[in-house]
Amino acid sequence: MRPSSILLALSAAVGAIAHQVEVPAEVPRNIEDFKAKHPTSDPRNAARGLSSRSGPLRTRWTMPTTAALYLPKDSLYMIGKPLDLTFLDDVQIHWDGEVKFTNDTPYWQEHAFAHPFQNSLMFWKWGGRDVKIYGDGVLNGNGQRWWNEFAGLEILDPTNTYLRPILFYGENLTNFEMEGIHEKDSPCWTNFIVTSKNVAFRDVMCTAESNNATALPKNSDFFDSLNIEDLTVERVWVNVGDDCFSPKSNATNVHVDTMYCNGTHGQSMGSLGQYAGEMSFVQDVVIENVWLLNGQHGARLKTWAGPDIGYGFIDNVTFRNFWQANNEYSAFIDSCYFNINSSTCADYPSKMNITNILFENFTGYTSGKYGTAVAKLTCSTNPDAVCENIEFRNFTVKSPCATDAEGEDAKPIIICDGIKGGIGMDCIPAASDEAKAALKKKCSVPLAEIDPPF
Ligand SMILES: *[C@@H]1O[C@H](CO)[C@@H](O)[C@H](O)[C@H]1NC(C)=O
Ligand SMILES: *[C@@H]1O[C@H](CO)[C@@H](O)[C@H](O)[C@H]1NC(C)=O
Ligand SMILES: *[C@@H]1O[C@H](CO)[C@@H](O)[C@H](O)[C@H]1NC(C)=O
Ligand SMILES: *[C@@H]1O[C@H](CO)[C@@H](O)[C@H](O)[C@H]1NC(C)=O
Ligand SMILES: *[C@@H]1O[C@H](CO)[C@@H](O)[C@H](O)[C@H]1NC(C)=O
Ligand SMILES: *[C@@H]1O[C@H](CO)[C@@H](O)[C@H](O)[C@H]1NC(C)=O
Ligand SMILES: *[C@@H]1O[C@H](CO)[C@@H](O)[C@H](O)[C@H]1NC(C)=O
Ligand SMILES: *[C@@H]1O[C@H](CO)[C@@H](O)[C@H](O)[C@H]1NC(C)=O
Ligand SMILES: *[C@@H]1O[C@H](CO)[C@@H](O)[C@H](O)[C@H]1NC(C)=O
């Protein structure tokens, strides 16, 4: 195998960084390489499912509750009407073809299913027991027209009326697996799983790529959830413009292992605590072996502040083995979400407890947007919201601005406020002169690309 390295045409001033980062050869370079490295892995199960069941359901989308369905390679299934599949019981879908939604944006805004959380729309709904989707197929949200027409708008803007559907929505799923599928060009979030238990995504690819430079994909998170228990995400390739992974209210026992995230907003817990008076929590989460390139943040916890918010907690979350290149903050606790200024945040601080959070073995480098500050942990100033046992272990993320033009060394800093006890490393308050000076030492790096690009 050819040697792998990051190609960074860095200026002389930051040249040292370019040689400090290496992506191991086993990390895939693109989607084809990802597929080759992580082939869909369950042919035995597939064969058993198909041989024991009867067959030619492929031209109809009205499924019996118990079924095996085959979508052959090179077949295209266009869906132009909302579809309710919430009655499933022991259904296996061998999905090698393509399922694509029409892009009749006015029709879908009028007729799609709706979920009250953040004003979501859905093309279809899946629910039931023992449902497995697997194969080399494509689930295509046909998002381009949606992104073009949405350009300039904000999903969380209270006056936004341009609502876009989620590509895959599940509710009341028990024992669900998606394996090998390419989820492509979702108009909005890619997966949204609600009130479900024992859910797994394996060897899935998720991309949202626009051909229009003034209308980039927005809010195309790979994964969101409400009320989920026992969730596994393994070996997933994501190239979208929003969160790579972001369980929202009420997630318990979550394990993410091996994710590649390019151009995303990071691995995010939440946002949480958005709705007035509502309790929400995320607990018992391990996210490990993650490669994050060219995105916004790395590992992030985001909780709402403001006059009408909820309350709850984030407890026992481990982010481990994170390699990052060209992201803003490599670790970020944001207790002033969403879009509020510091005085409003101080007047109405978040009511979420944040406890037992570990950031371990973080390597790589930031984008330089925040100068030599490589992480920022801002806990709530609310005396009733505890923020404790936040720990950094083996954290060596560098800033590309750490060596200034004069060749002077400026070590990366971590900003922290409101944490009870230390974090196991030096960290300084945002209001300190040292933090202010660090934030001013901005610099930039080119896109992190992997060599060879294939
Ligand atoms: C949830 O799914 C189970 C079967 O797994 C079903 O018995 C139950 O009625 C469903 N609940 C709702 C609220 O749909
Ligand atoms: C690209 O997006 C812009 C909105 O920013 C839209 O006005 C324009 O029509 C789109 N271009 C094409 C070729 O669809
Ligand atoms: C990674 O993301 C950047 C920024 O969005 C994009 O320009 C680049 O093409 C992406 N690379 C891959 C391999 O998808
Ligand atoms: C989360 O759990 C709490 C406590 O059980 C409950 O009050 C709240 O409604 C749940 N949130 C959602 C979004 O279901
Ligand atoms: C923290 O969460 C992990 C992952 O679910 C779990 O294995 C571990 O037992 C939890 N630790 C505590 C103290 O509950
Ligand atoms: C937050 O922590 C405090 C102190 O341990 C506790 O009294 C309170 O119940 C916690 N709040 C939630 C929502 O768990
Ligand atoms: C630290 O993380 C990197 C990848 O980000 C991994 O290659 C390395 O094995 C990890 N170290 C340990 C001791 O697990
Ligand atoms: C902060 O936002 C609030 C609410 O939008 C506004 O009333 C206030 O003037 C803002 N304060 C500053 C310092 O910008
Ligand atoms: C942390 O660093 C120590 C000392 O360099 C090393 O022995 C250990 O394997 C590292 N652990 C992790 C999880 O990176």
Q: Give 205-262 pLDDT, tens digit per residue.
A: 999 999 999 999 999 999 999 999 999 999 999 999 999 999 999 999 999 999 999 9
- Judged against a pLDDT cut of 70, whether residue 7 lies above it is answered with no
Q: Collect all residues with Cβ–Cβ distance below 8 Å to 433 and sequence separation of at least 6.
A: none
Tell me the per-residue pLDDT of 263-298, one tens digit each, with 9 for 90 and over: 999 999 999 999 999 999 999 999 999 999 999 999
Tell me the per-residue pLDDT of 13-42, one tens digit each, with 9 for 90 and over: 344 444 345 567 778 888 999 999 998 865
- Judged against a pLDDT cut of 70, whether residue 11 lies above it is answered with no
- Judged against a pLDDT cut of 50, whether residue 47 lies above it is answered with no
Among the options 38, 94, 182, 265, which is catalytic? 265
Q: Which atom of ligand 1 is nearest to the CA of 174?
A: 5
Confidence (pLDDT) at 41: 64
Find the ligand nearest to 194 CA.
Answer: 4
> Which among 252, 321, 329, 311 is positioned nearest to 289, based on CA atoms?
321
Q: Where are the domains of the chain?
A: 6-440
Confidence (pLDDT) at 4: 33
From ligand 3's centre to the CA of 448, what distance in Å?
8
The more confident residue out of 62 and 113 is: 113
Q: Which atom of ligand 2 is nearest to the CA of 214?
A: 5
> Which among 214, 227, 240, 237 is positioned nearest to 141, based on CA atoms?
240
Q: Which residues line ligand 9 (CB under 6 A)?
A: 360-361, 394
Find the ligand nearest to 258 CA.
Answer: 7
Mean pLDDT, range 426-444, rounded to an integer: 96
- Judged against a pLDDT cut of 60, whether residue 49 lies above it is answered with no
Confidence (pLDDT) at 207: 97
Q: Is the CB of 386 under 6 A from ligand 6?
A: yes
pLDDT confidence bin for 154, thresholds 50/70/90: very high
pLDDT confidence bin for 404, thresholds 50/70/90: low
Q: Collect all residues with Cβ–Cβ distance below 8 Å to 116 and sequence separation of at least 6.
A: none
94 classed as catalytic: no
Confidence (pLDDT) at 453: 43
pLDDT confidence bin for 448, thresholds 50/70/90: confident
Among the options 96, 203, 224, 242, which is catalytic? 242
- Judged against a pLDDT cut of 50, whether residue 348 lies above it is answered with yes
CATH class as words, domain 6-440: mainly beta
At which residue do the structure tokens 């709706």 appear? Answer: 114
**How far apart are alpha carbons 379 and 353 in whole angstroms?**
9
